[in-house]
A and B are shown apart, each in its own frame.
Chain A
Amino acid sequence: MAYAHADTQQVSVETITAVDEQGNTFSVEGFVIPVVVPLSEVGELLTNYDPASSTSPVVAYSRPLARVILDALKQAAEQP
């Protein structure tokens, strides 16, 4: 089971003005990529994530998650 999926048909370039995960207001134009984390994976992901540690998450979790985002971004950015 993958840790996450990107809904590639819903990737778009928009400006979002909202509050981020740190509680800060931001206004940024960029690619909006819907990332879906299966409920069945949430427990394992959060158990193995320590926000206070700069080396968390480990590669076994961070790389698959990063590749989901980057593959969707690459597909959207390079489409004709």
Chain B
Amino acid sequence: MRVQWGAAASGADYNWTAGPNHLAPRWYKDLIIDGNTVTSGDLAFIMFRMELDGTVNDFDQAIVAAHAVWPELDPANSMSAAGGYLSKSIGTAATNYNLGVWTLSAATTTNNKKYMVSVAHRGGGGVGSVCGQGYDASNVAAGNVSRNANLFGGTTLTMRLMIGVGNLTNSGNTAAAGNDQKFSIKYKAVTLGV
């Protein structure tokens, strides 16, 4: 997936690891498995494999892939999102990204990895936890991370899958008009009991 920014963006609102609000661009869709719409009450596990394309190096960037029940809202806690996290600074070697897991508006990452595999759990109204493993260019696992979302809510909301793009930091080498982000995200979701 390649995304081009139409206008410059900076500040905490465009940094997925800064609260309290997220205004950064995101795409989302309902999570439907075999015709069944998954809700926040279902026990669900969403696996992501995320990787940045090192040929695009326009700004200090971050990407999130997550489950969420209100991805269209701005307040981080209202979005109720958790998943995997990619980040990269300008000039970082193509195999040495800072990758990890993300909940609400914070991330735990492991350095010098090429791609990230994470599992985000959700169910019973809870946003759940995310755990992940970073891999190097030789497909060797080298560093694991995890985060608890510590957020609980209703059990009848439609679960969505979300991808968000944005800046790594609030200021500095932030997105300018015409800047690109390029990455791949594979996912698979399973439920117990749908």
Q: Do A and B come from one complex?
A: yes
Point out residues on A near B: beta carbons under 8 Å. Answer: 12, 14-19, 25, 27, 29, 32
A44 to B143, CA, bound (A): 38
Complex Cα spacing A24 to B12, Å: 12
B98 at the interface (CB under 8 A from A): yes
Contact among B17, B110, B111, B144 with A17 in the assembled complex (CB-CB below 8 Å): B17
Say yes or no: B106 contacts A15, CB within 8 Å.
Answer: no
Task: State the majority secondary structure of interface residues on B.
Answer: strand
Question: Would A16 and B106 count as touching, CB distance under 8 A?
Answer: yes
A25 touches B170 (CB 8 A): yes
CB pair A15 B108 closer than 8 Å: yes
Whole-angstrom distance between the alpha carbons of A29 and B115 in the complex?
A: 19
Return A18 CB to nearest CB of chain B, in Å: 4
Contact partner of A14 among B12, B18, B108, B170, CB < 8 A? B108
Contact B109 A17 (CB under 8 A): yes
Residues in B whose Cβ lies below 8 Å from that of A12? 144-145
Q: Which residues of B contact A25 (CB under 8 A)?
A: 12, 17-18, 170
Answer yes or no: B153 CB below 8 A from chain A CBs: no
Is B19 close to A, CB under 8 A? yes
State the 3 A-B residue pairs at the shortest beta-carbon distance, nearest first.
A18-B106, A17-B17, A15-B109
Interface mask (B21-60 → A, CB under 8 Å = 1, otherwise 0): 0000000000000000000000000000000000000000
Residues of A within 8 A of B128 (CB): none
Are A18 and B109 within 8 A (Cβ)? Answer: no
Q: Please measure, in the bound complex, the distance between the C-alpha atom of A12 and the C-alpha atom of B110, giving whole angstroms.
A: 10
Known contacts A14-B108, A15-B98, A25-B17; 14 additional CB pairs below 8 A are A12-B145, A14-B109, A14-B110, A14-B143, A14-B145, A15-B111, A17-B106, A18-B105, A19-B105, A25-B170, A27-B17, A27-B169, A29-B111, A32-B108
